[in-house]
Amino acid sequence: MKVVAGLGNPGIKYAGTRHNVGFEAVNLLAEQLGVQWKEGKHKSLIAEANAAGEKIFLVKPLTFMNLSGEAIRPLLDYYKCTPEDLLVIYDDLDLDPGVLRLRLKGGHGGHNGIKSLIAHLNTKDFKRMRIGVGKPEPGISVTAHVLGTFAPEEKAEVKNAAERAAKAAEAWFTLPFHDVMNEYNKKMPE
């Protein structure tokens, strides 16, 4: 089994915000796979699919970003998945808007959703896909920035990154993650 979790905040109030690009990517992946979201156990929306002979779970935690581990850990336990079976898609302030970066593991980089996952999983060893949302302008707090919407000139870049993230996640269903990283970490042509 494989689990692809997009991080974000539930509710209309947060739709389209920088913090919700993980939700956007898994929504696009659900469309690609032709599956519907259902409210599931474990404080999450879940969409189930089959790909390459494996059961795939797409997950959107409903715990709000900073408590993402409270939803994902019980889900992994219930389905007898390990952190190696998990790919997490989320926003990253240190990447320019629209930049996509995949990693096998790492620290939290100040991201509270990832801090929560590391604390609940007791490991940093899970796959990550980061979508750049850029740094806040001077005088704007990090919270206001990530809970704000994208500038008009950023929207197309970020939509493209979310689409690439969904394609990269789907590629992982049939390819080793190293191969997916090699393909999707390439700089996109201007």
Question: Annotated active-site positions, please?
Answer: 19
Do 129 and 183 meet the contact criterion of CB atoms below 8 Å apart?
no
The end-to-end CA distance of the chain, in Å, is 36
Alpha helices in the chain (DSSP H): 21-33, 68-78, 112-121, 142-146, 152-172, 177-184
Cα 16 to Cα 133: distance, rounded to the nearest angstrom? 12
Q: Would you state the structure tokens that stand for residue 42, as one six-digit string? A: 């474990």
